Structure 1
Amino acid sequence: MFTKNSEPVSLLRYWTVRYLITLCCGLIIIGVVSAYWIKYAATEKQLEVTRLFAEEVADRVVDDNGHVLVGDTLRQVLDNRRKFMGVDRNLLLFVQNQHGELIYSRPGQLPPLLQQDLPQLLRNAEQADKLKQRNGDVLYVVKKDLEYGDKVLGKVILLFPETDIKVGKEELQYLVIMLGSLGVLGWAVIYYHSRKLSEPIQDVVTAARQIVEGNYDVAVNKQIKEREIHELVYTFKEMADRLRQLESIRTELLAGVTHELKTPVTSISALVQAINDEVVSGEEAREFLEICLKETKRLQKMVEDLLDFNSFAVGAIAVASEEQNLNKLVREIASQWKIVQDSDGATLYTNIPEKQTTILVDPGRVQQILINLLNNARQAIGEGGKIELELYETASDLRIDVKDNGQGIPEEEQSLIFERFFRGSNKKDKVRGLGLGLSYSRMIAKTLGGDLILKESSTAGSTFTFILPKSIAEQKACS
Structure 2
Amino acid sequence: MLQKNKKTTLLRYWTSRYLATLLIGLAIIFLLSASWIRHTAFTNRIEMMTFLAEETVYRLTDTTDKMPNFIDERGRLQMREIDPILYIADADGNILTSNRPMPPDSIKNVATWLEGDKEYTKVSLMPQGEHYLVKKPIYVDEALYGWVLVLEDERHLTQVNQAYGQLALLIGALAVLGWGAIYFLSRRLAAPIKQVADAAKQIQDGNYDVYLPENNKEQEVDELVTSFKEMATKLEQLEKTRTELLAGVTHELKTPVTSISGLLQAVNDGVVTGDEAQAFIQMALQETTKMKTMVGDLLAFNRFAVDALPVHIETIYMNEIVRNIVQQWELLHEKQQLVVHYLEPDAEIQADVVRLQQILTNLLTNAEQAIEQQGTITITIKQEEKHVIMTIQDTGKGILPEDQPFIFERFYRGENKKYAVRGLGLGLSLSKMMAQSIGGDLQLINSSEAGTSFEITLVKAV
Query: How would you bin the TM-score normalised by the shorter chain?
Result: 0.7 to 0.9
Aligned to 1:463: 453
Given that residues 399 and 467 in structure 1 are in contact (C-alpha distance below 8 angstroms), is that contact kept between their aligned partners in structure 2?
yes
Matched, 1:131 2:131: no
Matched, 1:291 2:283: yes
Given that residues 204 and 236 in structure 1 are in contact (C-alpha distance below 8 angstroms), is that contact kept between their aligned partners in structure 2?
yes
- How far has the Cα of 1:207 moved from its partner? 1.6
Range that drifts further, 382-391 or 226-235: 226-235
Question: Quick one: structure 1 residues 297 and 49, their matched pair in 2 at CA, closer, same or farther if it must change by over 3 Å?
Answer: closer
Aligned to 2:202: 210
Helix, strand or coil: the match of 1:401? Answer: strand
Equivalent residue in structure 1 for 2:371, among 350, 373, 381: 381
| CA offset digits 1:230-250 (Å, max 9, x no partner) | 333333233222222222222
- Report the TM-score, using the length of structure 2 for normalisation: 0.86
- How far has the Cα of 1:265 moved from its partner? 1.4
Output the amino acid matched with 2:403: E
Counterparts of 1:41-60 in structure 2 under 5 Å?
41-60=40-59
Distance 2:81 2:194 in 1: 65
Equivalent residue in structure 2 for 1:107, among 100, 105, 119: 100
Question: Quick one: structure 1 residues 232 and 50, their matched pair in 2 at CA, closer, same or farther if it must change by over 3 Å?
Answer: same
Given that residues 125 and 141 in structure 1 are in contact (C-alpha distance below 8 angstroms), is that contact kept between their aligned partners in structure 2?
no
Range that drifts further, 158-167 or 405-414: 158-167
- How far has the Cα of 1:60 moved from its partner? 4.4
Distance 1:359 1:170 in 2: 83
Question: Quick one: structure 1 residues 464 and 127, their matched pair in 2 at CA, closer, same or farther if it must change by over 3 Å?
Answer: closer
Matched, 1:400 2:393: no
Distance 1:171 1:122 in 2: 33
Counterparts of 1:76-155 in structure 2 under 5 Å?
86=80, 91-98=84-91, 101-111=94-104, 114-115=107-108, 118-124=109-115, 127=118, 129-133=120-124, 137-147=129-139, 153-155=145-147
Output the amino acid matched with 1:162: E
Output the amino acid matched with 1:340: L
Output the amino acid matched with 2:187: R
- How far has the Cα of 1:209 moved from its partner? 1.7
Q: Structure 1 stretches of 5 or more lacking a match?
A: 67-81, 475-479
Matched, 1:366 2:356: yes
Matched, 1:225 2:217: yes
Range that drifts further, 302-311 or 410-419: 410-419
Question: Quick one: structure 1 residues 120 and 418, their matched pair in 2 at CA, closer, same or farther if it must change by over 3 Å?
Answer: same
Output the amino acid matched with 1:403: Q
Given that residues 50 and 87 in structure 1 are in contact (C-alpha distance below 8 angstroms), is that contact kept between their aligned partners in structure 2?
no
Output the amino acid matched with 2:295: V
| CA offset digits 1:183-204 (Å, max 9, x no partner) | 2112111111111111111112
Helix, strand or coil: the match of 2:434? Answer: helix
Given that residues 114 and 135 in structure 2 are in contact (C-alpha distance below 8 angstroms), is that contact kept between their aligned partners in structure 1?
no
Counterparts of 1:184-199 in structure 2 under 5 Å?
184-199=176-191
Helix, strand or coil: the match of 1:427? Answer: helix
Output the amino acid matched with 1:427: K
Output the amino acid matched with 2:363: L
Distance 2:96 2:381 in 1: 118
Range that drifts further, 41-50 or 201-210: 41-50
Given that residues 91 and 146 in structure 2 are in contact (C-alpha distance below 8 angstroms), is that contact kept between their aligned partners in structure 1?
yes
Matched, 1:7 2:25: no
Helix, strand or coil: the match of 1:286? Answer: helix
Aligned to 1:21: 20
Helix, strand or coil: the match of 2:415? Answer: coil
Helix, strand or coil: the match of 1:435? Answer: coil
- How far has the Cα of 1:308 moved from its partner? 2.0
Helix, strand or coil: the match of 1:133? Answer: strand
Output the amino acid matched with 1:383: Q
Range that drifts further, 17-26 or 169-178: 169-178
Output the amino acid matched with 1:395: E
Matched, 1:315 2:307: yes
Output the amino acid matched with 1:352: Y
- How far has the Cα of 1:99 moved from its partner? 5.8
Given that residues 38 and 167 in structure 1 are in contact (C-alpha distance below 8 angstroms), is that contact kept between their aligned partners in structure 2?
no
Question: Quick one: structure 1 residues 7 and 147, their matched pair in 2 at CA, closer, same or farther if it must change by over 3 Å?
Answer: same
State the Cα RMSD in Å: 3.2
Distance 2:332 2:361 in 1: 11
- Matched pairs, number: 450
- How far has the Cα of 1:21 moved from its partner? 1.4
Given that residues 453 and 466 in structure 1 are in contact (C-alpha distance below 8 angstroms), is that contact kept between their aligned partners in structure 2?
yes
Question: Quick one: structure 1 residues 210 and 400, their matched pair in 2 at CA, closer, same or farther if it must change by over 3 Å?
Answer: same
Distance 1:207 1:456 in 2: 34
Output the amino acid matched with 1:225: K
Distance 1:411 1:247 in 2: 20
Question: Quick one: structure 1 residues 64 and 374, their matched pair in 2 at CA, closer, same or farther if it must change by over 3 Å?
Answer: closer
Question: Quick one: structure 1 residues 350 and 141, their matched pair in 2 at CA, closer, same or farther if it must change by over 3 Å?
Answer: same
Distance 2:77 2:187 in 1: 59
- Report the TM-score, using the length of structure 1 for normalisation: 0.83
Equivalent residue in structure 2 for 1:390, among 357, 371, 380: 380
Distance 1:27 1:434 in 2: 66
| CA offset digits 1:239-274 (Å, max 9, x no partner) | 222222222222221111111111111222233333
Aligned to 1:449: 439
Matched, 1:157 2:156: no
Given that residues 130 and 138 in structure 1 are in contact (C-alpha distance below 8 angstroms), is that contact kept between their aligned partners in structure 2?
no
Distance 1:385 1:87 in 2: 104
- How far has the Cα of 1:351 moved from its partner? 2.2
Distance 1:301 1:148 in 2: 123
Given that residues 53 and 85 in structure 1 are in contact (C-alpha distance below 8 angstroms), is that contact kept between their aligned partners in structure 2?
no
Distance 1:151 1:320 in 2: 108
| CA offset digits 1:263-307 (Å, max 9, x no partner) | 111222233333444444444433333322222221122112211
Aligned to 2:175: 183
Range that drifts further, 358-367 or 436-445: 358-367
Aligned to 1:301: 293
Output the amino acid matched with 1:273: Q
Output the amino acid matched with 2:385: A
Question: Quick one: structure 1 residues 384 and 133, their matched pair in 2 at CA, closer, same or farther if it must change by over 3 Å?
Answer: same
Question: Quick one: structure 1 residues 99 and 470, their matched pair in 2 at CA, closer, same or farther if it must change by over 3 Å?
Answer: closer
